[in-house]
A = this chain, B = another copy of it.
Amino acid sequence: MSAINRNAQQIAAAVVSNKRVGQYHQLIVNIGDAANHCKPGNFVAINVGGDTSRMVLRRAFAISRVSANSISGGTMELIVAPYGQGSSWLCSQNEGAMLDVVVPLGTAFGIPTEPVQVLLVGGGYGSAPLFGLAEVLNARGCRVDMLLGASTASKIYAPMEGKRSVNSLRIYTEDGSMGQAGRVTDPIKALIDDMNIAVIYSCGPMAMLSAIDSLTRGTDVIHQCAVEESMACGIGICMTCVLPTMGSDGVISMLRSCIDGPVMDGETVLWDKVGKAL
Q: Enumerate chain A interface residues (CB-CB to B < 8 A).
A: 48-55, 85-86, 89
Contacts and interface: CB of A to CB of B under 8 A. Distances in A.
Contacts of A52: 48-50, 53-55, 85-86, 89
Give the dominant DSSP class at A's interface. Answer: loop
15 contacts: A48-B52, A49-B52, A50-B50, A50-B52, A51-B85, A51-B89, A52-B53, A52-B54, A52-B55, A52-B85, A52-B86, A52-B89, A53-B53, A53-B54, A54-B54
A113 B55 CA distance: 54
Contacts of A51: 85, 89
Contacts of A54: 52-54
A44 to B, nearest CB: 20
A48 B53 CA distance: 11
A272 to B, nearest CB: 37
A49 B53 CA distance: 8
A220 to B, nearest CB: 48
Nearest to A51: B85
